């Protein structure tokens, strides 16, 4: 018997935010299609804007960093697209597809490696853990999401 067939992959949900610079560059379809081609599902999607107060709440874990204000400026600069992405081990798959936070360190073939040039303009946000994903989904889609 092949051992991999006995492994039950965890079905997960995660949040992806397509940031203003990617929306402006017309990359929404390209970014979402990478998740779908991987076999992940886009279960909910909406567009909107993130105001400064919500951005501050979202990035509060970076509040003591010197780049915090620039991060807030970048995410509030224009419209964004919010997506709930689901599938087996979705968080790890999405983070691999997105690439390293710093575009200089992101592998070619990843979203950031292919499209981003400099921080804080790295094209997308992706949740980093199941707990973070659920909190961020509630933050941007509401309690019933």
On whether 122 is known to bind a ligand per the annotation, the reply is yes
On whether 115 is known to bind a ligand per the annotation, the reply is no
Radius of gyration, alpha carbons of the chain: 15
Instruction: Compute the distance between CA of residue 119 and CA of residue 50 in angstroms, rounded to an integer.
Output: 18
On whether 67 is known to bind a ligand per the annotation, the reply is yes
Instruction: Compute the distance between CA of residue 59 and CA of residue 67 in angstroms, rounded to an integer.
Output: 11
How does 113-142 read in b/e, with b if 16+ C-beta sit within 10 Å?
bbbbeeebbbbbbbbeeeeebbebbebbbe
On whether 14 is known to bind a ligand per the annotation, the reply is no
Which residue out of 58, 61, 62, 125 is catalytically annotated?
Answer: 125
Query: Coil, strand, or helix at residue 124?
Result: strand
Catalytic, 93? Answer: no
Catalytic residues: 125
Q: Residues annotated in the binding site, as ranges?
A: 19, 67, 95, 101, 112, 122
Q: Residues annotated in the binding site for ATP, as ranges?
A: 19, 67, 95, 101, 112, 122
């Amino acid at each position: 018997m092949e051992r991999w067939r006995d492994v039950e992959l965890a079905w997960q949900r995660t949040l992806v935010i397509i940031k203003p610079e990617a929306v402006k560059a017309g990359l929404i379809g390209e970014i979402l299609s990478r998740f779908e081609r991987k076999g992940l599902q886009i279960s909910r999607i909406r567009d909107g804007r993130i105001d400064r107060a919500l951005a501050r709440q979202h990035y509060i874990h970076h509040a003591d960093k010197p780049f915090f204000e620039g991060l807030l400026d970048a995410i509030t600069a224009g419209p964004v697209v919010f997506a709930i992405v689901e599938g087996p081990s979705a968080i790890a798959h999405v983070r691999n597809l997105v690439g390293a936070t710093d575009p200089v360190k992101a592998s070619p073939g990843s979203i950031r490696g292919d499209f981003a040039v400099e921080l804080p303009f790295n094209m997308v946000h992706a949740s980093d853990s199941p707990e973070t994903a659920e909190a961020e989904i509630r933050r941007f889609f509401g309690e019933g999401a």
